[in-house]
Chain A
């Protein structure tokens, strides 16, 4: 188990770095997909099968397909990418660094949370997730689903307008 954990983590980190460093945007997307799959592997190690599969369906299967779709259509190559000025680059580095610090601080906080909620093996199973969503977080869940429905209806209405 621990070996699997380290392997998945290594795959995740390497592919995440390759997303940033690879020149070809299509390659970046593919490395991001690998990264997501490794993350799904982590979920499975935590016995959160539902989360793992939904993660694959939603992120790998839908969002990344759209990413790839757009990148394929854009036909990006080196000539199109504009050279950024020095000020933009420096400010980008600073913003990124600050964001990294925030993440680091947030990660440190998680130790406390860990102590408060002990790990349960069945937390990620579909029945547990369902119970939590429909009892503890019923209102936010329903609100967000109404939001999604309205977004979808809106999209269909946009489509109908032209026809």
Chain B
């Protein structure tokens, strides 16, 4: 075992964890600011300059609140729910290539924790386990609204996972690899996959909204119908975990979208500047984060623009709209590659 690699990976893991939590924390702040700005308000601006300490204040508030476990709830599962939601949300960041390689002292350090050759599928696996956090928590609360939320979450996740998977199949046809690292490397220059798979991107984006339970697909937790849905009975930091997991999911899915469709850490025209490789790598990572923040902003923008779907509309869109569209997309991509490979 190479100890330097092990130590590097451990440190890098903690950095990623820290950055993920930090971004998720400030996404809550960003969300409130964006919402406020779009509604002609100012948003949080009292805690610190421009309200920048608001997430800290919210965190303290969450910790200080009284911890309530309902008497009729299934206690073990009630605690298990938010834990699963948080864990799976954090686990996804492992396979995302945050940057190219750094060269320090003649050694190469990859800015990716694990380059699995099935990277995309790993993301899918984590997303599909993530639904258990919501389902178990909603069921264990022993509350009809929470149960409704849980059931809605389950059926929504399953329905949209299909279309998401199929939009990815078309993407894989163009890339020929499941490894996120290779997919990013193929998109060097301006060969971003969004130009080759615009329809697939739209389907993937819609499904990503649905998978992260964001508006207009936030039916599992809609306040007006289900008084909070699956986290109706939750309080204190358990509620905080659920809310936080949602923001982490948003961050990670933004990162996945940026990786798959927007060239990841690739920056156009960077090679012509004649910078040292390490600078290029760091710039690429910064650019990657810029893309991620752009995607997060898009998530928020959509949320504060569109009203929530009705449940039958949601199911119609998923099963009768997106899935046939995704199959059509696979078909077109397949036919295209079939004929171009022949000649």
Contacts and interface: CB of A to CB of B under 8 A. Distances in A.
Interface of A: 26, 30, 33, 49-50, 53-54, 56-57, 60-62, 65-66, 68-69, 72-73, 125-127, 152, 155-156, 159-160, 163
Contacts of A61: 124-125, 127-129, 131, 161
Nearest to B76: A27
A71 to B, nearest CB: 9
Contact of A69 (B117, B122, B124, B151): B151
Interface stretch (B212-220, B245-253, B254-262, B317-325): B317-325
A72 B128 contact: no
B69 interface: no
A125 B117 contact: yes
B128 A156 contact: no
A139 to B, nearest CB: 19
Given A49-B117, A156-B323, A26 B77 contact: yes
A159 B118 contact: no
15 contacts: A26-B139, A49-B118, A53-B122, A56-B129, A57-B125, A61-B129, A62-B158, A68-B135, A68-B154, A69-B154, A72-B139, A72-B147, A72-B151, A125-B117, A156-B320
A30 B132 CA distance: 9
A54 B125 CA distance: 8
Contacts, number: 78
B86 interface: no
Given A26-B139, A160-B320, A69 B118 contact: no
Contacts of A160: 320
Contacts of B118: 49-50, 53, 126
**Among A56, A65, A126: residue with most chain B CB under 10 A:** A65
B121 interface: yes
A126 B177 CA distance: 9
B155 interface: yes
B319 A159 contact: yes
B237 interface: no
Contacts of B161: 61-62
Nearest to B122: A53
A144 B289 CA distance: 42
